[in-house]
Structure 1
Amino acid sequence: MKTISSLACSASIAACLVTSHAFADNQQDSALLKLLQEKGIISAEEAQSLQAEQARRAQQQATVSMGSKGLKIESADKQASIQIGGRLHADYATHDHEAFANQEDAIDGTQIRRARLYAKGKLNGRWKYVLESDFAGNKVSVKDANLSYKLTSAPITLTVGNQKHAVSMEVEESSNDIMFTERSLVAALTTPYFDRAIGITAASGGSNWHAKAGLFGDGISNNDADEGHGFGARASFAPVLNDNTVVHVGASYGLRKTSDDGLANGKSPSFSYKTTNFSDLKPVNASVADMDKVEIGVFEFAAMHGAWSVQSEIAANNVSRDSGDDLSFSAHYVQLGYSIFGGQRRYKASEGEFKYFNVNTPFNASTGDWGALEVAARFDQIDLEDDNISGGEAKRFTLGLNWYLSRNMRVLFDYSRSYDLDGGAIQNDKGEVADNIDSFAIRTQWAF
């Protein structure tokens, strides 16, 4: 009877010890086994057996962590994982401009610009996956949805699925990390046709360089039976790269061929920009009929030294039409940032882009820590005038103040003025081309 009781006790102890780490750590478990052995409840052999089983189970248990990068679960052998995260961008915007004759006033107010959740991780060591959806605007849209494999024979990663084209440093950078609430006027040439689409890319990178190229169909939201296709390639090199200083140069090329119904990446051919995402006010706007294909070339320069950072791109595209001469549009920007109270931007050479802002001391009112501040300025210009297309020209400058409370939270304040407007469709109540459109935007951002 005692033997049966001893076996039952041993089994119960084993179940408690090997199936949970919530009640005790290894040292406590060892102390408990030693105590049970001293009291004669279990033998030395049984104690050793339980310890061995506990160690074996511990090696097989997944690890769970929660931090600045979200919730992560990883297998004991580190060959499989899943990470859950997201972002929330809550915006407010208002405008000041003269009365328009043929255009409604800019829309002011609030908007959830982005509300995304993602799951990403790895499988069997070399496979990686990501699935991200956006719930902003009372609708669901799929952003990144792809699977990657790192080759064993070469330092190349292949990615298949919905993903960004390899065009433009600014487009490749996450909206969580860009210096202002919205991207520059260069985005009016790039994002309509060279943002996300379903395709395959090959990428490689080293300690101070990166290269990426891919072939694409249309975006995941396009349901056309006969879709268009595109190509994108981008490369960058950092001749100076250390913890405090970065010099970056790069270039990219993109091509997009329209579908049989004249759509390019599921969109009607046009180039424009809005003062804010939901303003519905477009200082320049060029619609292009009979577009056959669009090509774009982008040249990049960026640098960082301590608290200072600068980034610039020059973009030019060529639009081929089935009827009419080819068109050429261009845009460029230069932006400058300076961080106060410590912290600096993080540069990732293997992807050729700036990542999140490193905050030395997160915000904590009780200890008098206020995070970091970044003052920023940007000048950009766009020209959508060529041949019989009068989409307009515009210049713009933007002043920004970014408050980084932590790695995961920041508040952005932007003031922009669009000026020297020429051509385009917006006229004031005197019948003249409108000018000096001012906008002010605030964004509260939370991302992990």
Structure 2
Amino acid sequence: MARDFSPRESRRPRVAFFGTSHRFGGWDFLRWLVMAVILFEALVLGGRAFGQDTNTLQIIQQLQKRIDELEQKVKRLEADKEGRETEQSRAREAAAQAQQKAAELDNKLQALEKARAQDAEAAEAKSKEAQRAQERVSELDKKLQGLEQQREHDAKVAEAKATNAPVITVGEKGFSVRSANGDFGLQVGAVLQVDSRTFLDEPGVTGNDAFLLRRVRPTLQGTLFRDFDFLVMPDFGPSTPVLYDMWLNYKYKPELQLMAGKFKSPVGLEQLQADRDLTFNERTLVTALVPNRDIGFMLHGDLFKEAISYSAGIFDGVGDGRNNTLNAATQNYKAYEGRLFFQPFKPFSEPGPTPEPASAVLTALRGFGFGLGGSYQRLQGTNTTDLPQTTGGSLPGFTTDGQQQFFAYNPTNKATVLATGEHWRLSPQAYYYWGPFSLFGEYVISDQQVTRTGAGVQPNVRLANTAWEITAGWVLTGEEASWRGRVVPRHNFNPFQGGWGAWEVVGRYSELHVDDAAFPNFADPATSAHAANEWAVGLNWYLNRNVWLKGSYSHGWFEGGGGKGTSAPATITRQDENVIFTRLQFAF
């Protein structure tokens, strides 16, 4: 409690003067006391004066001095009294302020105690709420664990279902079905080529101009147990259906694979290009001297990210430009064929937006490749099937771009020509692809030992026939050209949306030379040419990935010969060949 320091009036004494009661304080009493002392001294001094008869003036002066001193003391006492009263007033004010401060502190203390009590209540409430939340979290954890277990179970069930469920795809690459894990797959494709050939300036020759189904080839390919691939491809374009490809390939790894069945021989560069990817309707004269398709086994693979590719196989063996359609060997000795191809810059990756000069050069050379293909076989003297020996018959000889025959082993005395002894081929080859530009070429030498039976038997003679070609192209719309795969337009043909596909101009030149020793004992110089030359230009329109339109013009001329047949395929060597080709191709 605050103490009350204010003076109390009841403590002052009361004194009565002249019938009047006065209340005196300490200072009033002192004042009256001083006055009484002065009066007493005056009386004493007065008595002495009157009794001793001294100097009155001197006494008065002393009294006056004494009165002044007493008045000064009184004033000092009054001043001290006023100072003490001021201090008491300040003390009272300080006491009042202290009392007020104490009251404020009491109020704050009460407020703090109240707040503490409220905080305690709130903390207790929060503690209870936290406890309830913890209990809720525990419940949710249990539910979450249950859901995770259920999800894992569902995932396992879904995975089990997905493992057995096939994946079906229908698109621009055809129709395919495969297992979810990729171990098994089946894809259906097709190639349809509708051609026209128009020969210029060939009066008297019938049957040349024609529309024809050049190739009608459904394909069935797939994968078995992930590592085994297969392909089946018949051709219904010819009058008699032919099984062109049927093989099984075991892929131990990209570097080591084994192929068995009927497939393309690994010798000629242009011959190895897929039929659907040809820039012209027909291949050049070079392919007349390399094997087409054969039956056998072949090891092959790609090393160092395709920097090196190799193929080495053993086959039944076929003649120049031939396809093994008999599904049988023509003699006991087998053919050994192989190819080694280098793409030294292919492993280098594409550069960034601002490539270094060296990196840009390496990238520009990624599409460069070169190699060598070859074959060797020792033939028996009874083999006639592999030689192009029938003029205008079922085994045509070397043919032109327009598929007209210009050479056959058909001597003047009508004797039979046989292939015997060694037969070897070599084909140095190269290509270069960079952006829209394409260029490839190859040279082939086919060294064949032959003999003749019947009238005028001739000793064995080695005939070395040669051919070479070069082909170039430029995609006008800027798409990338490629050896393995056709041009894929950036914008498919759709005039309503401003898409016009891709356009490419192409050109080529090729020659084939028959060994002079073939005439006249093994070939008739009156009907078979010593050499053939051909150039062609064309324009290809890729409407989309699956549909092409082609148009080209081919001009061919001959050295030697003078044949002019009257029916197709005739022996045409007397005049130049001029042909306009068109093709509508659908492939997927």
Shorter chain as normaliser: what TM range? 0.7 to 0.9
Report SS of the residue matched to 1:181: coil
Match of 1:229 among 317, 334, 340: 334
Deviations, residues 386-413 of structure 1 (Å, cap 9, x unaligned): 2143442121110011111111111111
The range that moved more, 254-263 or 209-218, is: 254-263
Answer yes or no: is the 8 Å Cα contact 1:146–1:161 preserved in 2.
yes
Q: How far apart in 2 are the matches of 1:267 and 1:222?
A: 18
Match of 2:584 among 437, 444, 448: 444
Aligned equivalent of 1:217: 316
Letter of the 1:364 partner, please give it: N
Identity %: 21
Match of 2:259 among 155, 159, 182: 159
Q: How far apart in 1 are the matches of 2:314 and 2:156?
A: 53
Answer yes or no: is the 8 Å Cα contact 2:388–2:408 preserved in 1.
no
Aligned equivalent of 1:202: 299
Report SS of the residue matched to 2:180: coil
Runs of at least 5 residues in structure 2 that lack an aligned partner in the other structure: 1-147, 318-323, 351-362, 390-394, 412-416, 452-458, 520-524, 567-571
Distance change >3 Å, CA 240–CA 310, structure 1 → 2: same
Distance change >3 Å, CA 266–CA 127, structure 1 → 2: farther
Distance change >3 Å, CA 225–CA 404, structure 1 → 2: closer
Report SS of the residue matched to 2:470: strand
Aligned equivalent of 1:28: none
Alignment partner of 1:382 is 2:512:
yes
Deviations, residues 85-122 of structure 1 (Å, cap 9, x unaligned): 1100110011013557xxx4561111101001111111
The structure with the larger Rg is 2
Aligned equivalent of 1:9: none
Q: How far apart in 2 are the matches of 1:53 and 1:266?
A: 63
Answer yes or no: is the 8 Å Cα contact 1:271–1:287 preserved in 2.
no
Q: How far apart in 2 are the matches of 1:184 and 1:201?
A: 26
Match of 1:273 among 391, 399, 404: 399
Distance change >3 Å, CA 284–CA 368, structure 1 → 2: farther
Aligned equivalent of 1:283: 406
Alignment partner of 1:343 is 2:479:
yes
Deviation (angstroms), 1:232:
1.2
After superposition, the CA RMSD in angstroms is: 2.9
Letter of the 1:196 partner, please give it: R
Q: How far apart in 2 are the matches of 1:399 and 1:84?
A: 33
Q: How far apart in 1 are the matches of 2:542 and 2:286?
A: 26
Q: How far apart in 2 are the matches of 1:250 and 1:45?
A: 59
Q: Normalising by the residue count of structure 1, what TM-score does the alignment of the two structures yield? A: 0.79
Higher-strand-fraction structure: 1
Distance change >3 Å, CA 158–CA 49, structure 1 → 2: closer
Q: How far apart in 1 are the matches of 2:149 and 2:511?
A: 79
Answer yes or no: is the 8 Å Cα contact 1:115–1:135 preserved in 2.
yes
Match of 1:247 among 350, 358, 368: 368
Distance change >3 Å, CA 115–CA 266, structure 1 → 2: farther
Q: How far apart in 2 are the matches of 1:440 and 1:227?
A: 43
Q: How far apart in 2 are the matches of 1:97 and 1:256?
A: 42
Distance change >3 Å, CA 68–CA 433, structure 1 → 2: closer
Answer yes or no: is the 8 Å Cα contact 2:302–2:308 preserved in 1.
yes
Q: Which protein, 1 or 2, shows the higher relative CO under an 8 Å CA cutoff with sep ≥ 6?
A: 1
Letter of the 1:238 partner, please give it: Q
Deviation (angstroms), 1:362:
1.6
Q: How far apart in 2 are the matches of 1:341 and 1:379?
A: 24
Alignment partner of 1:63 is 2:167:
yes
Distance change >3 Å, CA 105–CA 227, structure 1 → 2: farther
Alignment partner of 1:140 is 2:225:
no
Deviations, residues 241-288 of structure 1 (Å, cap 9, x unaligned): 3666311111100234446641355975974113324xxx22344458
Answer yes or no: is the 8 Å Cα contact 1:285–1:424 preserved in 2.
no
Distance change >3 Å, CA 45–CA 205, structure 1 → 2: closer
The range that moved more, 438-447 or 313-322, is: 313-322
Deviation (angstroms), 1:56:
2.8
1:279-428 aligned at under 5 Å gives the runs: 281-287=404-410, 289-292=417-420, 293-322=422-451, 323-347=459-483, 354-389=484-519, 390=525, 391-392=528-529, 393-419=531-557, 421-426=558-563
Answer yes or no: is the 8 Å Cα contact 2:223–2:229 preserved in 1.
yes
Q: How many residues align?
A: 387
Distance change >3 Å, CA 266–CA 214, structure 1 → 2: farther
Runs of at least 5 residues in structure 1 that lack an aligned partner in the other structure: 1-43, 348-353
Deviations, residues 280-327 of structure 1 (Å, cap 9, x unaligned): x22344458121143211111211222111111111111112433211
Answer yes or no: is the 8 Å Cα contact 1:201–1:213 preserved in 2.
yes
Q: How far apart in 1 are the matches of 2:339 and 2:481?
A: 22
Letter of the 1:255 partner, please give it: Y
Aligned equivalent of 1:36: none
Q: How far apart in 1 are the matches of 2:447 and 2:330?
A: 26
